[in-house]
Structures are given as structure tokens and as C-alpha cells.
Amino acid sequence: MFIEHTIGTASATKAMTNYVDSLLGYPQKRFMMKHFPMNMNLLGEYPDVASFLFVMSIALVMAWGVRKSSTLNSVCTIFNLLTVGTVVVSGFFFAKWSNWFIPKSEIPIGVDGGNGGFAPFGWAGIIAGAARCFYGFIGFECISTTGEETKNPKKTIPLA
């Protein structure tokens, strides 16, 4: 479970800092590739200092105590809910429902668009997408493992 959470934290933090770096025009990537490139196959192209600092700052908040880390968790949860809500609401106004049923003739040449239609890549594409989405459920086993440490898990786990 430790390795699962370590890999999950590393990949999520790396993705987050890459998104922020891309929004800013890749200043971190350009600087690090110029001054500190890593020529190893198993590691990244450059050391991701922003990811390291983010993980260390979260570790410091957790080291301050349960109350502060719980407050940070609540703030992050509210931010996540607002983000998802914004995407869902804007999707109702700006979505093109015709994109759900793209005929094969309208797929641009050179773009891997499958066979068109509702599930253009068939069951193999659905399974591949489900495997990628499974990552979002990492961490739910923590609920069951912490449940054995609570006084009244039937009440506190659903409440949490």
C-alpha cells in the first residue's frame, strides 16, 4: 500500500506541475533541460523541483497536526467540487452533442478516431479507458483500513 500511494502521489504531482508549467509557457522545463538535464531512461528528462516542493509543503502541513491537515483537505475538497461543478455546468452550455456521434467520414486524416459513432474504439477502448480511470479510485482501501481503528465504524465511516 505504501508503494501504491508513493507512486500515486508522484504521478499526480508530476501531472499537476506539468499542467501549471504548460499554462505558464514551460519556464521550468526549459530552465531545467538547459541546466540540469538527466540522461537516464528510467527517470524523467529533468528533476521536477516544483513537484518536490509541493510534496514537501503538503508533508509539512501534515506534520503540523490533524486539525491543520484536515482544514487543508476541506479547502482542497471544496476547490475540487467547484472545479468539477464548473466543468459540468459549462458542459451543458458549450458542449456539442453531435460530437458523441461522429461519422467515420468526418474523422480527419491522420487522426486515430476509431470507427466513428458512440464507442469508436469498441469494447477494447472502453476497457482501456476504464483502466485509466481506475487510478481515480486509488486510496479507497484506506477507508477500510482506518475503519478497524475507529470506535464506531458503522457511524463514523459513512459520516466521513
Q: How far apart are CA 115 and CA 124, in angstroms?
A: 12
8-state DSSP, 138: T
Residues 108 and 77 in one domain: no
Same domain membership, residue 60 and residue 37: yes
The number of distinct structural domains making up the chain is: 3
pTM, two decimal places: 0.56
Per-residue model confidence (pLDDT) at position 3: 80
Q: What is the dihedral of CA 120, 90, 134, 142, to 10 degrees?
A: -170
pLDDT-flagged residues of the chain (< 50): none
Q: Which three cell numbers stand for residue 141?
A: 482501501
User: Residue 116: which domain range?
Assistant: 98-160
DSSP letters, 66-85, are: HHHHHHHHHHHHHHHHHHHH
Q: Are residues 42 and 87 in the same domain?
A: no
For residue 139, which phi and psi values (nearest 5 degrees)? 110, -15
At 160 the pLDDT is: 64
User: Do residue 145 and residue 91 come from a single domain?
Assistant: no
Query: 17 and 35 in one domain?
Result: yes
- Geometric angle at alpha carbon 144, from 80 and 77, rounded to 5°: 10
157 and 141 housed in the same domain: yes
48 in the same domain as 82: no
Quick one: 82 and 113 in the same domain? no
